[in-house]
A and B are shown apart, each in its own frame.
Chain A
Amino acid sequence: MAARRGFPGTTTALLLLLTAAPLALPGQAELQASVALASVFFWSLFRPDSMPPAVVFALGLLADLLGYAPPGVEVLTLLVVHGLALRWRRVLARQGFLLVWLAFVGVAIGAATLQWMLTSLLSVRLLPPGPGLFEAAIGAGLYPALATLLTHAHQTLAEPEQA
C-alpha cells in the first residue's frame, strides 16, 4: 500500500536523476525540467493523495540542487503547478486527453515564464528567454508519451486499491 502510494514521488525522483545522467542528449537540461513538470502535473491532477505538497517540495529541491540554478526556483514552480492542478482537478479530470494536454501546454508555458523571471531576478540579469520557451515546447511534446506511460502505471502499479 505504502509502496503504491509512494510510486509517483519515487518515479518522478528517479526520472529526475535519470535525466541528469550523462546521456549526452541535446537539450537534456530542458528535458529534465519538463519531465519534472509533466510528472508533477499528471499526478497532482489524477492522484493528488500520492503527490502531496511536501513531496512536490522535495522534488523541486532535488531538481534545484541537480542544476546550477538559484535554489528555490524549481521548488516554487512545481508547487504552483501542483496548486493549479489541484484547483482545476474537478473540471479537468473529467475531460478527455486533448483538453488536459492543452491545459498542460498552458501550464508549461506559464511555468517556464515563472522560472525565467525568478532566475533572472535572482541572478540580477536579464537572461535569454530562448531556453525557457524550448523547455515549454519539449514539455508539450513529451506530455502525451509520458501521460500514456503514467496512465498505465496509474491503473496498475500505483493503484492503492489493488494493494
Chain B
Amino acid sequence: MIRLSIPVRQALAKLTLPLLIAAAFGLMLLGKADALLAERARMALADALAPIFGVLAEPLSTVRTVSDDVEETFSLYSENARLREENERLRRWQAVALALEAENTTLKANLQWIPDPAPSFVSAHVVADAGGVYARAVLLSIGPNHSVQKGQIALDERGLVGRVTELGSRSARVLLITDINSRIPVVLEGSRARAMLVGTNGPRPRLIYWPEGQPPAEGEHVVTSAEANAYPAGLPVGIVHYTGNKIAEVEPAARLDRLEVVRLFDYGLHGVVPPESQSSLRAAGPERRR
C-alpha cells in the first residue's frame, strides 16, 4: 500500500463520495447506453444465486404448505360443502365438454383440419421474486444444459404468466404480464374483438384499444391473440373486471402472487425478437434472417 501524508489522505477521503456519486451517474448512463451489459451483469449474479435460492425455496415452500394446511383445517367443513357443490356443477360441465370435444373432432375430421403441432415445454422452479420496486418479474432456476430461449412463453397450471426476457446459463428471468412494460395482444372470447393488455405494475393489467362499440363485458374470458406472431392464439389470460372508475382490468388466470413452478413453452414464434438474438441472427448471416 502506498504511504500518503495525512492531509493528502484526508483530501482523498473527502473526494471519494463525490467521485462515487459521479460514478453512479456514469453507471446510469452506461446502463442506458448498453442495456446488454447491465443484463449480462444481472444474469451473472442471478446464475450464481439461483442454485442457492433453489435450495432455500424448498424448505420455505414446505413451511408455506404447512401453514396453509393449518389454515385450511379451520375451514374444512365449509370448504368441503363448497367443493361438493362445485364438483356437482363441474360434472355437468364435463359431460358438456366431452360431447363438444367429440363433435369438434368429427367436424375437424370432415374439414381436413391441419392440427397445430404440440409445443415442447420445460418446467422450471420459480426461485425468487426478481422485480424490485418498479418492475414485476420472477427468477427461474433452470438446469445448466437447458434449451430455454428468450421470448419463450411461461404458463402456470391456470394461465399466462409472462415471457422470458433475460437468460443466463442456470437462470432465466420472466417478465410478468402485470409489469408496466408488458404489452400483450389479446382477444375477448365473447365478442372475438381484439384488444391490448397493458401491465400497470399493479395486480391486474388493463385492457386498451378495443374496437369502438365492442367494449369488453364484465366476466368475459380473455385469451391471447396470434397477432404480431409473439404469442400463439388462445392461451388463457384472465377474466375482465371493471373497477369503480369504469376501467377495464383483467384478473389474471395465473396465480402470479404465488408462482412455484412454471412451464416454458417453445411455440417457435419469432414475431418480437429480443435485441441479443437479433444481433446473433445478423452474425449468422442472411439465410437465417426472418
Partner-B contacts on A (CB < 8 A) = 17, 20-24, 28-30, 32-33, 52-54, 56-57, 60-62, 65-73, 75-76, 79-80, 82-83, 86, 115-116, 118-119, 122-123, 125, 127-128, 131-132, 135
* 9 A-B pairs (CB sep. < 8 Å): A21-B56, A22-B56, A22-B129, A53-B16, A54-B16, A57-B23, A69-B134, A70-B38, A79-B21
Q: Are A128 and B135 in contact (CB under 8 A)?
A: no
The answer to whether B20 touches A79 (Cβ under 8 A) is yes
Binding site for A on B (CB under 8 A): 16-17, 20-21, 23-32, 38, 41-42, 45, 49, 53, 56-57, 60-61, 64, 126-135, 137, 173, 180-181, 200-202, 258
- Is there contact, CB below 8 Å, between A22 and B24? no
Cβ-defined contact, A135 with B133, below 8 A: yes
- CB atoms of B137 and A68 under 8 A apart: yes
- Complex alpha-carbon distance, A139 and B20, angstroms: 24
Contacts of B130 in A (CB 8 A): 20, 66-68
B133 touches A69 (CB 8 A): yes
Residues of A close to B132: CB separation below 8 A = 29, 32-33, 66-69
Alpha-carbon separation in the docked complex, A45 to B287 (Å): 61
CB-based contact A79/B17 at 8 Å = yes
Asked if B133 and A118 sit within 8 Å, CB to CB, the answer is no
Q: Which of A21, A70, A132 contacts B128 (CB 8 A)?
A: A21
In whole angstroms, how far apart are the Cα atoms of A41 and B238 in the complex? 43
Chain B contacts for A62, CB-based, 8 A: 45
Closest 9 CB pairs of A and B: A67-B132, A72-B28, A72-B27, A68-B135, A71-B31, A76-B24, A75-B24, A22-B57, A53-B17
A49: min CB distance to chain B, Å: 10
In the complex, are the beta carbons of A28 and B129 less than 8 A apart?
A: yes
A79 / chain B contacts, CB cutoff of 8 Å: 17, 20-21, 24
Query: With contacts A24-B258, A67-B131, A71-B30 known, what are 20 further pairs, Cβ within 8 A?
Result: A20-B49, A22-B126, A22-B127, A23-B60, A24-B64, A29-B129, A53-B17, A66-B45, A67-B132, A67-B133, A68-B137, A69-B135, A71-B27, A72-B30, A79-B20, A79-B24, A116-B134, A122-B28, A127-B201, A128-B201
Could you say which residues of chain B place their CB within 8 Å of the CB of A116? 134
> Are the C-beta atoms of A22 and B128 separated by less than 8 Å?
yes
Chain B: CB-nearest residue to A116: B134
Closest chain-A Cβ to B26's Cβ sits at a distance in Å of 8
CA separation between A62 and B45, bound complex, in Å? 9
Q: Tell me, rounded to whole Å, the shortest Cβ–Cβ distance linking A101 to chain B.
A: 22
CB A130 to nearest CB in B, in angstroms, measures 8
Within 8 Å CB of B26, what residues of A? 72
Contacts A22-B60, A30-B133, A131-B134: A72 and B25 contacting too (C-beta < 8 A)? Answer: yes
**Among A28, A75, A82, which residue has its beta carbon within 8 angstroms of that of B17?**
A82
The answer to whether B133 and A29 touch across the interface, beta carbons within 8 angstroms, is yes
Task: Give CA–CA (A131, B200) in the complex, Å.
Answer: 12
Known: A22-B56, A115-B133, A131-B133. A70 touches B32 (CB 8 A): yes
Whether the Cβ atoms of A29 and B128 lie closer than 8 Å is: no
Residue of B nearest to A58 (CB): B20
**Most chain A CB atoms below 10 A, which of B127, B129, B131:** B129
Contacts of A119 in B (CB 8 A): 133-134
- Docked pose: A28 CA to B137 CA in angstroms: 13
Q: From the candidates B21, B38, B181, B200, name the one contacting A71 in the complex (CB within 8 A).
A: B38
B165 CB to nearest A CB, Å:
9
Chain B residues with Cβ below 8 Å from A125 are 180
Complex: chain B residue closest to A73, CB-CB: B28
- The residue of chain B having its C-beta at the shortest distance from the C-beta of A56 within the complex is B20
